[in-house]
Structure 1
Amino acid sequence: MFAFIPQMLGQFLKLIYDTLAFHNYGFAIIIFTIFVRLFLLPLNIKQYKSMSKIQELQPQVQEIQKRYKNDKEKLNQELTKLYSDNKANPAAGCLPLLIQLPIIFSLFYAVSRPLTYMLGKTQTQITELAQQYGVTVKNYQEIEIVKKAGGKILDMNFFGLNLGDFPIVPWGIKENAPYYLALLLLPLIAVVTTFLSTKFSMMQSRNNSSAATASMNNTMLYIGPIMTLIFSFQFPAGLSVYWIAGNVFTILQQWYMNKYIIKKKEVVGK
Structure 2
Amino acid sequence: MMAIFNFFGSLLGYLLWALYTVFRNYGVAIILFTVILKVVMFPLSVKQQKSMSAQTKLADKQKELQKRYANNQQKYNDELMKLYEKEGVNPGSGCLTTLLPFPIMLGIFYSVIMPLSNTLHIAGETVAKATDYISRIPGVASASGLGLYQELQIIKHFDVLKPNLTMFSAADIDKIEFFSKGFRFLGLDLLASPQGSGFLTFLWIIPILSLVFSFGTQFYTTKAMGSSTQTGCTKVMMYVFPLISVYWAFIMPAAVGMYNIVSILTSFLQTVVMNKYFSAEQLAVRKEASRALALELAEGNVRPLTAAQQKKIADKLAAVPQQKQVKETAKQKTKKKKSGSVSGDTASYMGSKK
Same fold (TM over 0.5): yes
Query: Match of 2:41?
Result: 40
* Equivalent position amino acid for 1:194 in 2: S
The total of aligned residue pairs comes to 257
Question: Following the alignment from structure 2 to structure 1, what is the Cα–Cα distance between the partners of residues 231 and 102?
Answer: 24
In the TM superposition, residue 256 of structure 1 has moved relative to its aligned partner by 1.0
Question: Following the alignment from structure 2 to structure 1, what is the Cα–Cα distance between the partners of residues 60 and 285?
Answer: 22
54 and 218 in structure 1: CA distance in 2 versus 1, 3 angstrom threshold: closer
Which among 254, 257, 260 is matched to residue 243 of structure 1? 260
Secondary structure (helix, strand or coil) at the match of 1:186 reads helix
- 5 Å-filtered alignment, 1:23-38, equals 23-38=24-39
Whether the 8 Å contact between 1:17 and 1:23 is mirrored in structure 2 is yes
In the TM superposition, residue 113 of structure 1 has moved relative to its aligned partner by 1.6
More helix by share: 2
Query: Match of 1:13?
Result: 16
Any stretches of 5+ residues in structure 2 without a counterpart?
Answer: 160-175, 290-354
Any stretches of 5+ residues in structure 1 without a counterpart?
Answer: none
Query: Match of 1:161?
Result: 188
Question: Following the alignment from structure 2 to structure 1, what is the Cα–Cα distance between the partners of residues 101 and 285?
Answer: 33
Cα-to-partner distance string for 1:74-128 (whole Å, 9 max, x where unaligned): 2222111211222222212123333312211122222222111111123553335
Question: Following the alignment from structure 2 to structure 1, what is the Cα–Cα distance between the partners of residues 208 and 108?
Answer: 20
State the identity as a percent: 32
Q: Name the Cα RMSD after superposition.
A: 2.8
Segment of structure 1 superposing worse, 96-105 or 121-130: 121-130
Query: Match of 1:186?
Result: 206
1:142 aligns with 2:151: yes
Q: Which has the higher contact order (CA 8 A, sep 6+)?
A: 1
Whether the 8 Å contact between 1:135 and 1:144 is mirrored in structure 2 is no
CA radius of gyration, larger in: 2
112 and 228 in structure 1: CA distance in 2 versus 1, 3 angstrom threshold: same
Question: Following the alignment from structure 1 to structure 2, what is the Cα–Cα distance between the partners of residues 57 and 156?
Answer: 50
In the TM superposition, residue 267 of structure 1 has moved relative to its aligned partner by 5.0
Query: Match of 1:234?
Result: 251
Secondary structure (helix, strand or coil) at the match of 2:270 reads helix
1:264 aligns with 2:282: yes
* Equivalent position amino acid for 2:152 in 1: I
Using the size of structure 2 for normalisation, the TM-score is: 0.65
* Equivalent position amino acid for 1:255 in 2: V
In the TM superposition, residue 234 of structure 1 has moved relative to its aligned partner by 2.4
- 5 Å-filtered alignment, 1:1-270, equals 1-2=3-4, 3-19=6-22, 22-126=23-127, 127-128=129-130, 137-138=140-141, 139=144, 140-149=149-158, 152-154=177-179, 155-170=182-197, 177-179=199-201, 182-206=202-226, 209=228, 213=230, 220-262=237-279, 264-265=282-283
In the TM superposition, residue 248 of structure 1 has moved relative to its aligned partner by 1.0
Whether the 8 Å contact between 1:64 and 1:75 is mirrored in structure 2 is yes
Using the size of structure 1 for normalisation, the TM-score is: 0.83
83 and 142 in structure 1: CA distance in 2 versus 1, 3 angstrom threshold: same
Secondary structure (helix, strand or coil) at the match of 1:152 reads helix
219 and 135 in structure 1: CA distance in 2 versus 1, 3 angstrom threshold: same
